[in-house]
Amino acid sequence: MVLRSDRPAAGAGDRELGDLQQRAVAAYLGLAVGDALGATTEFMTPTEIRHRFGVHREIVGGGWLRLQPGRVTDDTEMAIALGRSILDCGRVEPDAVAGAFSAWMRGKPVDIGNTVRRGISHFRRTGVAHVAADDHNAGNGACMRCLPVALRHCMDDERELVEASRRQAHVTHNSPSADAGGEAVLRMLVAALHGGTHSALRGHAQRLVARSPEYGFDRRTVTNPSGWIVDTLQVVFQALFAHKEFEETLVDVVNRGGDADTTGAIAGMLAGAMYGLAVIPTRWLAALDADVAAVCRQQALQLIELATCRAGGLVVGAGGY
């Protein structure tokens, strides 16, 4: 991979990273910059965005949450909580995931979805780290935080990936339709981490549509996507396959408004994994909250280390990370 000299996006030492490692870091930072960029236009319409910004393409904070520039929201924060619990346990343990989410909620996060709040409250009340199946509640809240599962299971077979996905998702979201969408995103992430390009990722998206036709994304351009996972992924897929660049993919989704921080987050992790670290705009990385950026980078590398150790048959003590 060529590091473009006009975009020294990589931090010190990143030039020594292997391809899998740099894609993992790019996916995690892509999630965070997409979240921070999209939070500004969350719940706006494309017309409102156009009047206010022309084209929104800078991390400036604000939005309905009145964020500091570079501040991320629940999408990134929940991924970090999930990632930490996976590193502590060596795998996706629902009780540990629910405990991590509960601790996060105790810290009074800047934003939290209703379904997430309900799931965490259910765990606190009952000690049960999964909610009942409910296909009327197919929100995007489990998919938005799924990246650590892809990193942990990037060397494993699909069955393990899918089972781990459900263990983390069902802590708050338990819907066959949302499961299917989230699992497609995980398959796309794993493919991209291993160098898969548009055609490989599109194949996964098309297999999702064949199985769950509500996800069909070729018809009309979706604007103002709601928190429904189908709306969210239609926007992400349309933008991902319409562009050949990281920046343009994210600019496309966040200018459609609606649940823009979450379309930004999911598009960011996929585009980050696919295009790699060198093309994430320097100005976005510079704007990102420095502590968040450091945690994203560190977790990405530790999760890949865990994935490759486990795949190599080495035993890693729980808590060793």
- Does 175 engage in binding with Mn ion (CB under 5 A)? no
- Does 73 engage in binding with Mn ion (CB under 5 A)? yes
Token digits of residue 149 = 């599962």
Return d(Cα 75, Cα 229) in angstroms, integer: 14
- Does 261 engage in binding with Mn ion (CB under 5 A)? yes
Residue 156 falls in which region: left (phi positive, over 0), alpha (psi -120 to 50) or beta: beta
Cα–Cα distances (Å) from 139 to 37, 46, 143, 219, 221, in that order, read 21, 22, 9, 22, 20
Of 177, 252, 200, 260, residue with least CA distance to 221? 252
- Does 231 engage in binding with Mn ion (CB under 5 A)? no
Site mask for Mn ion (CB under 5 A), range 88-107, x = bound: --------------------
- Does 263 engage in binding with Mn ion (CB under 5 A)? no
- Does 179 engage in binding with Mn ion (CB under 5 A)? no
CB 188 within 8 A of CB 201: yes
**Looking at 46-54, 189-197, 240-248, 255-263, which segment touches Mn ion (CB under 5 A)?**
255-263
**Secondary structure of 210-228 in HEC code, one letter for each residue:** HHCHHHCCCCCCCCCCCCE
Compute the least distance from the CB of residue 252 to Mn ion, in Å: 17
Nearer residue to Mn ion within complex by CB, 79 or 161? 79
Compute the least distance from the CB of residue 276 to Mn ion, in Å: 25
**Looking at 65-73, 83-91, 170-178, 191-199, which segment touches Mn ion (CB under 5 A)?**
65-73
CA 191, 79, 257, 38 torsion: positive or negative? negative
Compute the least distance from the CB of residue 258 to Mn ion, in Å: 9
**What residue ranges bind Mn ion (CB under 5 A)?**
73-75, 259, 261-262
